[in-house]
Chain A
Amino acid sequence: MTQSLPFPPKRNPQKPTQVPTVPPMVRSRAALGLGVMAAQGRFGLQVCAQCQAVQYPPRDACLKCLNDDLPWQDVDPTGRVLAETTIRVSPEPYFRERMPWRMGSVKLNAGPVVNCHLHGEVGRGDMVRMALKLDKAGQGVLIALQLEGSENMQDDPVLRAMSCDPKRRRVLITDARAPMALALTQALLNAGAAHVFLGEPEAWRRWPERAAYAGMENVSIVPLDVTDVSSITKLSAEIGGKVDILVNTASFTRPGGVMGNDTTFARDAFEVNTLGLMRLAQGFGPAMASRVQDGVNSAAAFVNILSVHGLMPDPAYSAFGASQAAARSITQSLRSEFRGSGLRVINVYIGAIEGDPWFSTLPPPKVTPNAIARATVQGLVGGLEEVTCGDIAKDIYARWQNDAGLLEREITGGGS
């Protein structure tokens, strides 16, 4: 049984905030593939294209037949713990702060024996399911979990350090007017978030949906406009040290191709979708990155709700797609900048939103605000980097991974 996380005490102001450390970062090029899988919440290993042998650890040539075509595939994550050991001494600052540390070897039903971290509920001889997780260095690591974990299994310290679980954490949703903001607020509170701040741009424009937040406990509406650097500076000065998870919901959409569109709307799209993200990172990123190891309610994740058309544009929404592609590019740079602190950048890719008037002419399937909220919370709990939500986003993401050139022709070149 894992003990439920305590409610964090108020900070002792005489103690410095612990400087974040990260586990060893260096990997072989082949082993980086573990992180690619972990980022998407998949359990996969290299499987030899010739002899089907499942490989571990990652390598450049098949351990059985020396073939060098070793594509990553999802494999059966179950296995049995063969042995466990407890490490009490380490030269690595990250592990020294967390001694003792349990590790084990697991015989996978898919074949190989792997060395892995052990969840607190797992011991020698147990049947387990393996998960690939991103550690604080952003690298893919293996952890053995109980097949049916206990109610509070997420609160296990080893697993929690690999997740961005909203439980006990304080969240800033950057645009309360976004279609998914209310559903997201409720989902985060249900997942145990301690407080949800919601940014309200242009309070001088009334919006009836605001009434839905009235009387909600642990919810505050605060002035924030991602296009206005002064509002970001002001809010980050006030609550920057209390934002453990930031979810950027601000988005600007207008339809239109390149030639028929106008650059005024395009500029608005970039101001909100791209530069807004950059301003948020500048305003809240440094404080968040410094608080990754700040106890129970430490900073954990910078989340962006992005259109999957950032990967491949829908030509009917050209400027929107361009701004989303640019936003995605910024999140990739941010991942690199936050890498040393352990702050995770999570992208939640969505398709057209149900009820959004700018997508009203598009046929279903569309993604609902509730689905976006659910996927975002799941991404946080799982500690992912890449989350797809809804059929359209999942489909486009998969096709893009498989063959981006073919996807471009499918979308822009008369594919049926």
Chain B
Amino acid sequence: MSNIIEALAGALASSAARIVDLTHTLDPDFPVIVLPPEFGQCARFRMEEVSAYDHRGPAWKWHNLTMNEHTGTHFDAPSHWVSGKDVPNGAVDEIDPSVFIGPVVVIDCSKGAAQNDDYELTPEIIEDWEAQHGLIPADVWVLMRTDWSKKSGADYLNMAKDGPHSPGPTPAAIELLLKRNIRGFGTETVGTDAGQGAHYMPPYPAHYLLHGAGKFGLQCLRNLDLLPPTGALLIAPPLKIKGGTGSPLRVLALVTA
């Protein structure tokens, strides 16, 4: 192989490298974040037939789609949060595309999340992980594996009278990740923050701190159980939406066989 790209193509062809799809299907019935009803809401994914080989278009089928920037498996840009509104190049169309492909590490919190819906990713858990796998390098994606993506229906948002209950990071955990100067943070839940994340200080620490620092978010991921703790490559380019604060996207990971 004469160059690295050809080597990669060869590895994919020979299954020495594999692609793992970390994306949920965009489905009208897939949960979105639910806010108090007096606030504006995240639009659900909707698909409307424009024609289907019929009088509206005899030889073709196509649909109009409606959704929010933050519907389904999606990317959060810094401008999504008030703390990141003045971050330079903070909208999806302004972000340097070189960051859309990069290394990813996975912190497995699935055992704890199976026992506690409000399981927290803490600095201790991150440091334990680092004790095994080494310091989290700069400019990597960090994904919190909880196997939450295997839940469906009402169990996914897990809404109760006192709000949703799903795992997420504590403010201190995010601060530690920022100290490592990560590229972004991703989860299997509907947001990068815990279901009860409004009750931390600052509220919604992942959103507030990450985006304030110009970092990115990914949420509603799946198949994180198919990724190694280190050594995979994440491909996560959002749509190039002018001034967009995020985007539904296809998230892929490259892993060695």
Residues on A lying within 8 angstroms of B by beta carbon are 202-206, 208, 223, 225, 227-231, 254, 262, 264-265, 268
Looking at the complex, which one of B28, B29, B41, B153 makes contact with A268 (CB distance below 8 Å)? B41
Whether the pair A205, B157 counts as a contact (CB closer than 8 A) is yes
Residues of chain A within 8 A of B48, CB atoms compared = 229
Q: How far is the CB of A175 from chain B (nearest CB, A)?
A: 15
From 133 to 175 in chain B, residues with beta carbon under 8 angstroms from any chain A beta carbon are: 152-154, 156-157, 159-161
Residues of chain B within 8 A of A205, CB atoms compared = 31, 34, 154, 157, 159
Q: How many A-B residue pairs have CB under 8 A?
A: 47
User: Contacts A227-B44, A268-B41 known; A204 to B29 CB distance under 8 Å?
Assistant: yes
Q: How far is the CB of A303 from chain B (nearest CB, A)?
A: 25
Residue B56 CB within 8 A of the other chain? no
Q: How far is the CB of A179 from chain B (nearest CB, A)?
A: 14
Looking at the complex, which one of B29, B40, B152 makes contact with A264 (CB distance below 8 Å)? B40
Residues of chain A within 8 A of B111, CB atoms compared = none
The docked-state distance in angstroms from the alpha carbon of A227 to that of B29 is: 11
A-B contact pairs, 15 of them (CB 8 A): A202-B29, A202-B44, A204-B29, A204-B31, A204-B156, A204-B157, A205-B157, A223-B29, A225-B28, A227-B44, A228-B28, A228-B29, A228-B44, A229-B48, A262-B40
Whether the pair B46, A227 counts as a contact (CB closer than 8 A) is yes
Residue of A nearest to B157 (CB): A204
Interface size on B, residues (CB 8 A): 21
Residue of B nearest to A203 (CB): B153
Residues of chain B within 8 A of A268, CB atoms compared = 41
The docked-state distance in angstroms from the alpha carbon of A231 to that of B44 is: 13
Q: How far is the CB of B223 from chain A (nearest CB, A)?
A: 20
Residues of chain B within 8 A of A265, CB atoms compared = 40
The docked-state distance in angstroms from the alpha carbon of A231 to that of B30 is: 13
Q: How far is the CB of B39 from chain A (nearest CB, A)?
A: 10
Whether the pair B154, A206 counts as a contact (CB closer than 8 A) is yes
Whether the pair A228, B46 counts as a contact (CB closer than 8 A) is yes
Residues of chain A within 8 A of B159, CB atoms compared = 205-206
- Chain B positions 11 through 46: 1 when the CB is less than 8 Å from some CB of chain A, otherwise 0: 000000000000000001111001000101100101
Residues of chain A within 8 A of B154, CB atoms compared = 203-206
Residues of chain B within 8 A of A229, CB atoms compared = 46-49
Q: How far is the CB of B13 from chain A (nearest CB, A)?
A: 37
Top 4 nearest A-B pairs (CB, nearest first) are A204-B31, A228-B28, A206-B154, A206-B159
Q: How far is the CB of B68 from chain A (nearest CB, A)?
A: 10
The docked-state distance in angstroms from the alpha carbon of A262 to that of B38 is: 12
Residue of A nearest to B45 (CB): A228
The docked-state distance in angstroms from the alpha carbon of A268 to that of B68 is: 13
Whether the pair B28, A231 counts as a contact (CB closer than 8 A) is yes
Residue of B nearest to A264 (CB): B40
Whether the pair B40, A230 counts as a contact (CB closer than 8 A) is no
The docked-state distance in angstroms from the alpha carbon of A210 to that of B67 is: 27
